[in-house]
């Protein structure tokens, strides 16, 4: 893509996942934004905008367009076949728990409420039911997405920053696949936007070394503990070789965004150390821009402090379990 190539971004996703924030960020970047444009008039609208020299366009699509929604995927496919037009489909997702909390805090009705579109047969009586129906109806667009952004752990400022990184001024240069390596704790759930998930719970755990327990995988002593162990070292070598093969082919396929998630039990020690090692290797071997995120480090450290402050009842017994 060159600076002169027209760029069209379809912004879609679950209600409450941040679609309005994303569209506002794109508007601030100079995109001509239209929200909930009926699908049948999209081609004609693009022709009109192109005729007036508009080269950055963002169209918001969600279930509020009612009966027009069923044609959304076919219209996206139709305009994607146009020559000289770069099309990106941005899908915003979030966990059900977070969506419920966001609707509870804003007190806004869900678009699939009994009084809105579509008809009552698609309007379950509970908010969770409406979210599940909406997720099902959007599944086709999610499969068609160029970029999926999980906003479960993002605030509005972090989401805005992510959008600017994806579609900001640098998009005039040749596009490279943006790669993100995320560490997480399985006990808090795997990231829903992960393309690849690695499990490192079989590696030696620094949690059981008292002087390392409150450190993280970014600490040199913890990194050495994990990565200098034969299993840890060999595992990272295997993963590096695997990624050296896969990542260039992902990019060649035309993928815009790749998220690699590395998980251990709490997301504080092993996953962080391995994620940092993998990210460092990818930067040097592919020259890609690689972002690292350690999702659960602070949450798990707080959990450890609480556990030590209020040890389980068996901790004071003489016959405490050996494996905890």
Could you give the C-alpha distances from 300 to 81, 274, 304, 312, in angstroms and in order? Answer: 47, 17, 6, 17
Picking from 253, 251, 252, 171, the residue whose alpha carbon sits closest to that of residue 2 is 171
pLDDT at residue 262, as a whole number: 98
Phi, psi of 2 (to 5 degrees): -105, 170
3-state secondary structure 72-97: HHHHHHHHHCCCCCEEEEEEEECCHH
3 state SS of 7:
strand
Q: At what angle do helices 72-80 and 42-51 cross, to 10 degrees?
A: 40
Per-residue tokens: 287: 């020259």
Rounded to the nearest 10°, the torsion over CA 141, 142, 145, 147 is: 150
Region of 282 on the Ramachandran plot (φ > 0 left; ψ -120 to 50 alpha; else beta): alpha
Residue-by-residue pLDDT tens, the chain, 324 positions: 444 467 899 999 999 999 999 999 999 888 999 998 888 899 999 999 988 999 899 999 888 766 677 788 888 888 888 877 889 999 999 998 999 898 887 677 777 775 444 444 456 678 888 888 889 889 888 888 989 999 998 888 889 888 988 888 655 445 578 899 999 999 999 998 899 999 999 999 999 999 999 999 999 999 999 999 999 999 999 999 999 999 988 887 667 789 999 999 999 999 999 999 999 999 999 888 899 999 999 888 888 787 777 765 545 554 444 443
Beta-strand ranges (E) seen in the chain are: 7-13, 32-35, 56-60, 86-93, 147-150, 178-185, 196-199, 257-264, 290-294
Residue that is written with structure tokens 């972090």 in the block: 158
**pTM of the full structure:** 0.59
> 3-class DSSP state for residue 223?
helix
Domain chopping of the chain, boundaries: 7-172, 178-309
CB atoms within 10 A of CB 218: 17
Token pair for 63:
């279930």
Q: Return the residue matching tokens 């605030």.
A: 155
Gap between the Cα atoms of 121 and 84, Å rounded: 42
pLDDT value at residue 254: 61
Q: 214: which 2 tokens?
A: 């409150």
| SS3 labels along 128-187 | HHHHHHHHHHCHHHHHHCCEEEECCCCCHHHHHHHHHHHHCHHHHCCCCCEEEEEEEEHH
Q: What is the DSSP secondary structure assignment for residue 264, as one 8-state letter? A: E
Closest CA to 166 of 141, 158, 196, 54: 158
For residue 3, what pLDDT is reported? Answer: 44
Hey, which residues does 88 pair with through a beta bridge?
Answer: 9
Looking at residue 115, its pLDDT comes to 47
Q: What are the backbone angles phi and psi of residue 72, rounded to the nearest 5°?
A: -60, -50
Predicted local distance difference test score (pLDDT) of residue 5: 62
Class of domain 7-172: alpha beta
């Amino acid at each position: 893509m060159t600076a002169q190539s027209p760029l069209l971004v379809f912004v879609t996703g679950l209600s409450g996942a941040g679609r309005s924030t994303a569209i506002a960020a794109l508007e601030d970047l100079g995109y001509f934004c239209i929200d909930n444009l009926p699908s049948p008039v999209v081609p004609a609208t693009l022709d009109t905008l192109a005729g007036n020299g508009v080269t950055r366009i963002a169209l918001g699509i969600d279930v509020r367009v009612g009966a027009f929604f069923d044609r959304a995927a076919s219209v996206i496919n139709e305009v994607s076949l146009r020559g000289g037009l770069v099309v990106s489909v941005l899908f915003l997702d979030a966990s059900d728990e977070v969506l419920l909390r966001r609707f509870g805090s804003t007190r806004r009705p869900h678009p699939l409420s009994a009084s809105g579109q579509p008809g009552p047969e698609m309007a379950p009586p509970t908010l969770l039911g409406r979210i599940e129906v909406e997720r099902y109806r959007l599944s086709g667009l999610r499969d068609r997405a160029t970029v999926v952004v999980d906003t479960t752990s993002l605030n509005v400022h972090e989401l805005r920053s992510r959008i600017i990184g994806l579609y900001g001024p640098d998009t005039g240069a040749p596009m490279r696949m943006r790669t993100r390596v995320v560490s997480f704790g399985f006990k808090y759930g795997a990231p829903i936007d992960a393309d690849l998930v690695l499990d490192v719970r079989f590696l030696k755990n620094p949690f059981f070394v008292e002087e390392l327990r409150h450190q993280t995988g970014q600490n040199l002593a913890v990194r050495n503990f994990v990565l200098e162990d034969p299993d840890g070292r060999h595992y990272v070598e295997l993963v590096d070789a695997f990624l050296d093969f896969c990542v260039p082919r992902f990019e060649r396929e035309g993928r815009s965004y790749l998220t690699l998630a590395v998980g251990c039990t709490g997301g504080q020690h092993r996953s962080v150390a391995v994620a940092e090692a993998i990210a460092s290797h990818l930067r040097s071997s592919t020259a890609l821009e690689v972002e690292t995120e350690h999702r659960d480090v602070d949450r798990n450290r707080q959990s450890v402090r609480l556990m030590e402050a209020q040890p389980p009842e068996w901790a004071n017994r003489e016959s405490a379990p050996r494996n905890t």
